[in-house]
Amino acid sequence: MKQKPTTWSQRYGTALRAHLQQRRGASLRTALELGRRAVTQGLETLELARIHERALATIDLSKNKAGLCERAEIFFNEVNMPIEETHRAGHTTEIHLNRLKETLGQRTVELAATNRQLRRGVDRRKVMEETAAKNGRHYRKCLEESLELQKRLRQLTHRVLTAQEDERKCISRELHDEIAQTLLGINVRLLSLKQGARINHKGFKRDIASTRRLVAKSAQSVRRVAREFGSL
């Protein structure tokens, strides 16, 4: 519990008088204790000086005034020492606090810059992920289209091969029928020639010419079919 200023002043005056009544070089432990209590009271050096002057005014300094004033000053300085130390500590703490504030400000600026870089990195990563997703979808779409085109190509190739096979079969049947008819005609002509050679010599020549035309026609048919097969 804090003491009242008047009570502390009275205590200071009593301690000062007791110290001055002692011989020179007496212990200043009481003064140091008063100084520590002054710190707890929140007293400043100026206020302590005023209390010291009032206390000194109540003391008889007629005997050895200079020596008593010197010892009183020493006592005052001893009481004031904890106050000054507190001020120095407070000043040191303030300097340290200011340095901490400055360091904190720098760290805050660095943290803000780091956060901005981090946000930019996150944004770039999102863009890359979105781009990768779009590329993936595009790749899948292209792959599906490619597979569909391959499927259609196989179907078309199958239809073309089927059509070519049907065409070959049709041509083969036509060739077979046409050549068979031609050969049958040649066979009939040969039989006729065999029988007619004995009777009509002129008619025999005509029949030979007709047979030759049938043979030429058959050869033309074979060449035509060969060309058609070659174009397939």
Query: Under a CB-based contact definition with an 8 Å cutoff, are residues 33 and 19 in contact?
Result: no
Q: Which residue pairs, CB below 8 angstroms and at least 24 apart, start in 60-66?
A: none
Mean pLDDT of the chain: 77
129 or 23, which is more confident? Answer: 129
**pLDDT for position 1:** 46
CA of 41: how far to CAs of 16, 29, 67, in Å?
18, 18, 30
pTM score, whole prediction:
0.39
How far, in Å, CA of 13 to CA of 59, rounded? 9
Which amino acid appears at position 182 of this protein?
A: T
Quick one: tokens of 12? 């200071």
Quick one: tokens of 224? 């035509």
Helix (H) or strand (E) holding 198: none
Query: Under a CB-based contact definition with an 8 Å cutoff, are residues 35 and 82 in contact?
Result: yes
How far, in Å, CA of 152 to CA of 145, rounded? 10
How far, in Å, CA of 226 to CA of 172, rounded? 10
Q: What digits encode the pLDDT tens for the residues 179-229? A: 667 666 766 766 666 666 666 666 666 767 777 787 777 777 767 766 766
Alpha helices in the chain (DSSP H): 5-21, 29-41, 45-57, 65-196, 201-231
Q: What digits encode the pLDDT tens for the residues 164-180? A: 777 777 766 766 666 66
Quick one: tokens of 118? 């981090």
Query: Under a CB-based contact definition with an 8 Å cutoff, are residues 3 and 55 in contact?
Result: no
pLDDT band at 107 (very low <50, low <70, confident <90, very high): confident
Q: What digits encode the pLDDT tens for the residues 18-53? A: 888 887 777 888 888 888 988 888 889 988 899 898
CA of 126: how far to CAs of 9, 112, 114, 129, 133, in Å?
74, 21, 18, 5, 10
Quick one: tokens of 204? 């025999």
How far, in Å, CA of 186 to CA of 180, rounded? 10
Which 8-state DSSP code applies to residue 23?
Answer: P
Question: What count of other Cβ atoms lies within 10 Å of the Cβ of residue 104?
Answer: 11
78 or 142, which is more confident? Answer: 78
